[in-house]
């Protein structure tokens, strides 16, 4: 293989890899799940939900890009409740982290938290 073709292939690979972290949106994981990172994630989710605060469902955002926000629990007399968690996914684009609401596309940036492609 000529040096030119090797260089071209390498350049292509770099560009493709870059698309995930620097280019178009891609599923992402947070690089930390400490209290500060989680607080910033919750702030972004609250912003996306239009609420003062949110309660996160199960899961570790450093392990899975799927995040859920719990609804208000049903009362004791709500025996056929339709409530569901609101589902979000973590995305990375141009090195920045976002939460994207799966049922409506609302997208909010997570400030001050690192993330990486999932």
Partner 1 sequence: MQKVSVRLLAGSLAALLLAGCGGGGGSSSGAGTPPPGASGPTWTANVFQPASTFKNFCATVRTGVDARGTPFPDKAGTLLEELFWLRSWTQETYLWNTEVTDQNPASFTDRVAYFNTLKTPATTASGKPKDQFHFSQSTADYLAQVTSAPAASYGAEIRVFAASPPRDVRILFTTEGTPATELLAGTAKLSRGARILAADGVDVVNGGTSQAQLDTINNAIFPKSPNETHTLLVQYPGGAQRTVTLTSANLVADPVNRTAVLPTASGNVGYVLLNTFSPFSSEKAIVDAIAAMKAQSVTDLVLDLRYNGGGLLAVASQLSYLVAGPAKTSGRIFERLQFNAAAGAANPVTGGTNTPTPFYTTGLGFTVTNGVALQPLSLPRVFVLTTSRTCSASEAVINGLRGVNVDVVLIGGTTCGKPYGFYPADNCGQTYFSVQFKGVNDKGFGDYADGFAAADASSAFPVKIPGCSVADDFDSELGVASEGMLAAALAYRASGTCPAPSGVGLAPASTVRTGENAIATSALPLAVEILRNNRDMSAPPSRTPAP
Question: Does the protein bind partner 1 through residue 66 (CB under 8 A)?
Answer: yes
73 binds partner 1 (CB under 8 A): yes
Q: Which of 7, 15, 18, 78 binds partner 1 (CB under 8 A)?
A: 78
d(CA 12, CA 10) in angstroms, rounded, equals: 5
Site for partner 1 in 4-63 (CB under 8 A): 51-53, 57-59
Query: What is the C-alpha to C-alpha distance for residues 29 and 114, in angstroms, rounded to an integer?
Result: 9
Q: Is residue 83 a contact point for partner 1 (CB under 8 A)?
A: yes
| CB nearer to partner 1: pick between 21 and 66 | 66
Residue 1 vs 77, nearer CB to partner 1: 77
- Identify whether the C-beta of residue 47 lies closer than 8 Å to the C-beta of residue 99: no
Q: Is 53 left (phi over 0), alpha (psi -120 to 50) or beta?
A: beta
Tell me: does residue 82 bind partner 1 (CB under 8 A). Answer: yes
C-alpha–C-alpha distance, residues 65 and 77, integer Å: 34
Q: How far is the CB of 84 from partner 1 (least distance, A)?
A: 6
Question: Helix (H, G, I), strand (E, B), or coil: what is residue 93?
Answer: strand
Interface residues with partner 1 (CB under 8 A) are: 51-53, 57-59, 64, 66-70, 72-85, 87
């Amino acid at each position: 293989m000529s040096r030119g073709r090797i260089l071209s292939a390498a350049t292509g690979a770099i560009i493709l890899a870059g698309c995930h972290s620097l280019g178009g949106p891609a599923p992402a994981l947070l690089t930390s799940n400490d209290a500060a990172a989680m607080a910033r994630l919750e702030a972004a989710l609250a912003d996306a939900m239009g609420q003062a605060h949110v309660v996160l469902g199960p899961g570790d955002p450093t392990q899975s890009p799927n995040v859920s926000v719990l609804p208000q629990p049903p009362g004791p007399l709500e025996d056929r409740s339709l409530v569901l968690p609101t589902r979000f996914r973590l995305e990375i684009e141009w090195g920045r982290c976002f939460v994207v609401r799966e049922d409506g596309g609302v997208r909010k940036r997570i400030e001050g938290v690192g993330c990486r492609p999932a």
